A and B are shown apart, each in its own frame.
Chain A
Amino acid sequence: MIIYEISQNFYQRSVYTDLCSFYNESMENKGKTTDYAVHIDSVSFSYRSDDGSGTEMLKPALDGVSIDIPNGSYVAVLGPNGSGKSTLAKIIDLLEIPDEGTVVVLGINSKDEENFWDIRENCSYVFQNPDNQIVGTIVEEDVAFGPENLGVPNPELRERVDQALQYVGLTAYAKREAAHLSGGQKQKLAIAGALAMKPKLLILDESTAMLDPVSRDEFLSIVEKMHKEQGITVVTITHDMTEASRCEYAYIVEKGHVTMQGKPHELFADSEKIRRSGLELPVYAELTSELMRFQRLKVTASDLCDQNTAAGRAADAAAARISCKSSELESEHVKKSSSEKVILSVKDLSYSYGDSKKEKTIENINLDVREGEILAITGHSGCGKTTLISHLNGLIRPQNGTVEVHTSDDEILITSHPKEIKRIRQNVGVVFQYPEYQLFAETVYQDIEYGLKQMGIEEDKRKDMILTAVRSVGLDESLLDNSPFELSGGQKRRVAMAGVLVMKPRILVLDEPASGLDPKGRKEMFSLIGKLKENGTTIILVSHNMDEAACYADRICYMKSGKLLCIDTPEAVFDSNGNTDIPRPLLHDFSMKVRSEICKKLGGMIDFGPVRRNAREEAKNILREVILYREDHHA
């Protein structure tokens, strides 16, 4: 049987190499630059910045980058924040002019200035922040902005606008005000604006980074439809690996260099290198490679070429003879918060904005937060999460119901009592989404100090508290005298968090703390949250990422259209017999595929229990259950 497997493996690998060489040949045939949508040859670029004293400083962003993107392809440029990947995108659209090297876009060399607009007219660009690319006040006027600039006459202009709006499904919103659309709709509007220009090349610069999973999926489906139906070349800049796995080819950019390139699954096969470049594997590839790693098998690109193949290969690996030591399979000990003590409780809470009492933003919420736990509040944008957390520290007074906060000496404070508000805000710290946009002071020190000042804490006590807060978020003390506006994005976020932590809240509410961060940044953020929990802070985490919620939270609650559908441990919430309205983590979905493949292979039903919190633990779990099943069967 083993021999069969090996030969099969060989067979597939040779087919695979054939495919590879085929692809390479076709690339070679396209060797003439005119066949490439984008041909970039050893391009270097530096940002010029003034250091204050008048001398110019050069900050290199790209250093000798060469990439080729064939016409009609769908290519991802991956890399951590600050790797230069966005600069690369801007160079393609001539929004930045390279210092050195050749850029040929759609067969036109960017060196000739007269060709400048020919290139830009055929490239459309969708940026990250939806608000910063909408020019028109009314939806249809914004869609028309691009073609208007191109001088497209009526009635063709009207036709293009209407078609573009229909294509992205915003026809009903044509006359609405663009500013009042949701984030997902705004990005669709940006796509419509791009589509109306009839581009040959579409560049997405982290366009989905600010969207929730549902909007992200809708957005990508529209893009992929454009790519398939209209043959538009798509270049997507991202650090989301699940998104990357949907592409045909990928480049990894790191510190201004292209470090890896290939089809996405070829890159995923080298998990070590991916991680070293500050990225991570998509969930399916991670579980597959964990399983194969335990079984001492080498992951090949062909194993990961799509989810179903990967599930099959992962199951093959798991069902083979176990080759790891049983000690390796012991599950990591997770310290469960045993406390049943309630620290914050929400009772029958309802709230509606505006005059209409009919449509409630949140309705009949009942929620007990236990001391020392991480509670994740999940749900899609607009489900009422932000309204709920605004109640927790009395930013919003409840219209119906109460919010009770228990202090360290078991006193109960109620947010509807104006006199208790100040103490409630000391107990419940809230860090809103993108907290870095709230920094204001001249120095980091003063910014963090602000809350203490407002609370009336004496000056001599403040310094120690500030230092503790700075250390707890992992910031360097030497930054205290810097201006917060000079820091990097990740550092700014830490300063903003320290500004809340400095008041030593017993409960910390974090609204999407990892949004906009790259995989490495996200991991660091969650390990920071873990440390805060260890120090005894109760954490309420608001997130739309189910995988992260399942991985880090002790309990999860899920909200839908203002109602709380459930609150329980991740294992119970995502139980296969549970409420199917609740979206499952990606790990859960893929693991179910692997599990059923294993059952098929072993010809029996195996009860694997709940899906574990991360890919490694789930891999161990699967292997343990397979061993148990084998033992039972032989007995």
Chain B
Amino acid sequence: MLKEMTLGKYCDTKSPLHRTDPRIKTIMYIVYLVALFMVKSPAAIIAAAAVTFIQLAVAKIPFRVIRSTLMPILPLAAFIFILNIFSIRDGEVLFTWHRIIVTNEGLHKAILMAVRIILLILSTSVLLTLTTTPLKTADALESLFSPLKIIKVPVHEMAMMMSIALRFIPTLSEETDKIMKAQVSRGADYDTGTVINRIKGYITVLIPLFVSSFKHAEELAVAMDARCYRGDVGRTKLNPLKITGKDILAALLLASGVALILVFEFVRL
């Protein structure tokens, strides 16, 4: 089950987007996110989708990965779509059936919201998780937030915590799988029965998982100690972040993508 999850999984295709400095990707991601929530016109939404797909193409993400990234989010998108379409009653009425009224405004809003959430997930994946290793993301955040160190914010520690959390996702998902198999062998049933019973059933997975997480944490702390970890004092980096000409070019290209979306939104031709 958890193995299907690609959100947060790095997909190495060695594209130019993979090599771009993670700080640039992070900043551009935020800019892109803001743009995405500003747009309302259909033309701009199409432009945003086009820009996202160009990014996916540049990153050479295989279709299989895109599909498995989107799959878990489709129910949410559908839910948002339905919620919007039935709750918004402004505008022209397109269709009525008993007490259900669908208006053009509602339809427009519903499509906008659903597409937005899909684009949101896709852009998170393509700019961050799929093309940037978690450690690099952590590096980028550490570097971007480093001014906060002056006011004693433990930026380095937070970045380290984040990268370790990400590092353990595959390990814990593998463990979950093993525990579930064992409990199913003892007659556990996670797929049928009432919702409450199913949630109760998951206790048999969650408790062993918690116990082993604590064990992991404890042993990892000792192992890090043994490898002379002592915070960021005097620490060097194998792959230090460096902005090159290529990174600036990538930043300009990504910015022009955002500009394109905004042009379609605000400049009515």
Q: Please, how many angstroms separate the alpha-carbon atoms of A450 and B207 in the complex?
A: 14
Are A503 and B184 in contact, CB atoms less than 8 angstroms apart?
no
| CB pair B219 A127 closer than 8 Å | yes
Interface centre among A132, A140, A146 (most CB of B within 10 A): A132
Contact of B222 with A95 in the complex, beta carbons under 8 Å: yes
- Chain B residues closer than 8 Å to A435, beta-carbon distance: 182
A193 within 8 A of B: yes
Residue B238 CB within 8 A of the other chain: yes
B187 within 8 A of A: yes
Min CB–CB distance B269 → chain A (angstroms): 45
Determine whether A93 belongs to the interface, using a CB cutoff of 8 Å to chain B. Answer: yes
A417 and B222 CA atoms in complex are apart in Å by 48
* Pick from B178, B188, B235: contact of A151, CB under 8 Å: B235
B-chain residues with CB within 8 Å of residue A450 when the two chains form the complex? 186-188, 204
Assembly CA distance A439 to B234 (angstroms)? 43
Q: Known A120-B226, A145-B227, A149-B228; judge A137-B166 contact (CB<8 A).
A: yes
Q: In the complex the two chains form, is A149's CB within 8 Å of B186's CB?
A: no
Q: A250 contacts the other chain (Cβ, under 8 Å)?
A: no
Q: Is B244 an interface residue (CB 8 A)?
A: no
A117 at the interface (CB under 8 A from B): yes
Asked if B186 and A135 sit within 8 Å, CB to CB, the answer is no
Q: Mark B167-197, 1 if CB is under 8 A from A, else 0.
A: 1001100110011011111111100000000
B145 to nearest A CB, angstroms? 19
Stretch of A299-307, A374-382, A422-430, A465-473 that contacts chain B: A422-430
A 304-344 contacts with B by CB, 8 A: none
Asked if A157 and B207 sit within 8 Å, CB to CB, the answer is no
Give the interface SS of chain B, mostly helix, strand, loop or mixed: helix
Q: Determine if A133 is an interface residue (Cβ-Cβ < 8 Å).
A: yes
Are B238 and A432 in touch, CB under 8 angstroms? no
- Bound: A129/B171 CA distance, A: 12
Interface centre among B12, B135, B182, B186 (most CB of A within 10 A): B186
- In the complex, how many angstroms separate the beta carbon of B143 from the nearest chain A beta carbon? 15
Contact status A429-B185, CB under 8 Å: yes
A137-B133 CB under 8 A given contacts A179-B171, A440-B207: yes
Counting CB contacts under 8 A, is A607 at the interface?
Answer: no
The CA of A157 and the CA of B240, in the complex, are separated in Å by 11
Residues B10 and A148 in contact, CB atoms below 8 Å apart: no
Indicate which residue in A117, A120, A151 contacts B236 across the interface (CB closer than 8 Å). A151
Residue A500, interface by CB 8 Å: yes
A425 adjacent to B170 (CB under 8 Å): no
Task: Scan A80-102; emit 1 where CB is below 8 A from any B CB, else 0.
Answer: 00000000001001010000000
Separation of A438 and B208 alpha carbons in the complex (Å): 5
A161 contacts B by Cβ under 8 Å: yes
Decide if B99 is an interface residue (CB 8 Å cutoff): no
Q: Is the pair A157, B204 in contact by a Cβ cutoff of 8 Å?
A: no
Interface string of A131-159 (1 = CB under 8 A from B): 11111111011001111111111100110
Cross-chain contact of A500 among B185, B203, B223, B229 (Cβ < 8 A): B185
Complex CA distance for A10 and B10, rounded to whole angstroms: 68
Could you tell me the distance in whole angstroms from the C-beta of A435 to the nearest C-beta in chain B?
Answer: 7
Chain A residue with the shortest CB-CB distance to B164: A135
Residue A175 at the B interface, CB < 8 A?
yes
- Choice from B166, B171, B186, B208 contacting A437 with Cβ under 8 Å: B208
Cβ contact of B187, chosen from A123, A144, A455, cutoff 8 A:
A455
Given contacts A93-B226, A120-B226, contact A154 B186 (CB under 8 A): no
Closest to A432 in B: B182
Interface flag for A393 (CB, 8 Å): yes
Q: Which residue of B lies closest to A442 (CB)?
A: B207
For B179, the chain A residues whose CB sits under 8 A away are: 437-438
Q: What interface size band does chain A fall in?
A: 35 or more
**A contact residues around B207 at 8 Å (CB):** 440
Closest to A176 in B: B12
Q: A177-B10, A451-B187 are in contact. Are A154 and B236 (CB under 8 A)?
A: yes
* Interface residue? B225 (CB, 8 A): yes
The smallest C-beta distance from A408 to any residue of chain B, in angstroms, reads 19
CB pair A146 B227 closer than 8 Å: yes
Q: A133-B223, A135-B164, A390-B181 are in contact. Are A425 and B237 (CB under 8 A)?
A: no
The closest CB in chain A to the CB of B239 belongs to: A141
- Is the CB–CB distance between B238 and A141 below 8 Å? yes
Is A152 a contact partner of B236 (Cβ separation < 8 A)? Answer: yes
Contact A131/B171 with A141-B238, A390-B181, A393-B185 known, Cβ cut-off 8 Å:
yes
Q: For the complex, what is the distance from the CA of A437 to the CA of B205, rounded to whole Å? A: 10
Quick one: closest A residue to B184, CB to CB? A395
Cα–Cα, bound, A76→B259 (Å): 66
B212 within 8 A of A: yes
Q: How far is the CA of A390 from the CA of B170 in the complex (A)?
A: 21
Assess whether A95 is in contact with B227, with CB atoms less than 8 Å apart: no
Q: Is the CB of A149 within 8 A of B235?
A: yes
Whether A485 sits at the interface, judged by CB under 8 Å, is yes
Q: Is A29 an interface residue (CB 8 A)?
A: no
Please tell me which one of the listed residues A129, A137, A149, A503 contacts residue B227 in the complex, with CB atoms under 8 A apart: A149
A-B contact pairs, 11 of them (CB 8 A): A95-B222, A127-B222, A129-B219, A132-B220, A135-B164, A137-B135, A149-B229, A355-B64, A454-B187, A454-B189, A485-B211
Chain B interface (Cβ < 8 Å from any Cβ of A): 10, 12, 64, 133-135, 163-164, 166-167, 170-171, 174-175, 178-179, 181-189, 203-205, 207-208, 211-212, 215-216, 219-220, 222-230, 234-240
Given A197-B228, A395-B184, 5 additional A-B pairs, CB 8 A? A120-B225, A125-B226, A127-B219, A177-B170, A450-B186
Query: Which 4 pairs, one residue from A and one from B, show the smallest C-beta to C-beta distance?
Result: A454-B187, A144-B238, A132-B219, A179-B170
Measuring CB to CB, which residues of chain A are less than 8 angstroms from any residue of chain B?
A: 90, 93, 95, 117, 120-121, 123-125, 127, 129, 131-138, 140-141, 144-154, 157-158, 161, 175, 177-180, 193, 197, 355, 390, 393, 395, 422, 425, 429-430, 432, 435, 437-440, 450-451, 454-455, 485, 499-500, 503
